[in-house]
A = this chain, B = another copy of it.
């Protein structure tokens, strides 16, 4: 591996965030999933949760494609909402769903620099009642247009970039946040991926 490549990997890993994640509940369109992963990579989200209780487990993430973000992320898959939330609670203190409800706060009023998980639901039915009941609240992306719905990849990107903005202001990108073990493990793994792709 060249020094340039090592530097690149080191630079990206030094900005990976251990306190922000995305949960995709029964999101079925592969294009949406890969777009969400790309946004995660862009803002430094390392771990994402894929919860499929109503649709089959996803088989692959297109990890062979050079434009796929899946190979730079740690993906946790669950078929059971309770098990998923048990895992989430170990790392995140707040779990918010995107759901239009009277008690939903605006994205811009939520504290996204806290240890937080953001849940996005199925393209048609949204976040399930089961998952909402286990979460800590809802947030909405304000909309003032005639069409009152956003594509999930757009909604997720807007949410993640608002988190990026808040976290950047709070200095979250100025210091390494991954623990040393995770940092070294990912560094090794990514070095190998780079070599496979650039023999």
Contact = CB atoms under 8 A, between A and B. Distances in A.
Contacts of A39: 150, 154
Contacts of A19: none
Interface residues of A, number: 36
B158 A41 contact: no
Contact of A15 (B38, B42, B144, B153): B144
Please tell me how many copies of the chain the complex holds.
2
A1 interface: no
Contacts of A161: 141, 158, 161-162
Given A43-B145, A141-B161, A158-B161, A38 B108 contact: no
B142 A41 contact: no
Interface string A1-19: 0000000110010010000
A165 B158 CA distance: 11
A139 interface: no
Given A144-B12, A153-B154, A165 B38 contact: no
A67 B147 contact: yes
B146 A164 contact: no
A9 B147 CA distance: 11
A146 B38 contact: no
Contact of A144 (B42, B69, B108, B165): B42
Interface of A: 8-9, 12, 15, 35, 38-44, 67, 69, 72, 108, 141-147, 150-151, 153-154, 157-158, 161-162, 164-165, 168, 173, 190
Given A15-B144, A41-B145, A150-B157, 20 more contacts: A8-B146, A9-B146, A12-B145, A12-B146, A35-B154, A38-B145, A38-B154, A39-B150, A41-B146, A41-B147, A42-B144, A69-B146, A69-B147, A72-B146, A142-B164, A142-B168, A153-B153, A153-B154, A157-B158, A161-B162
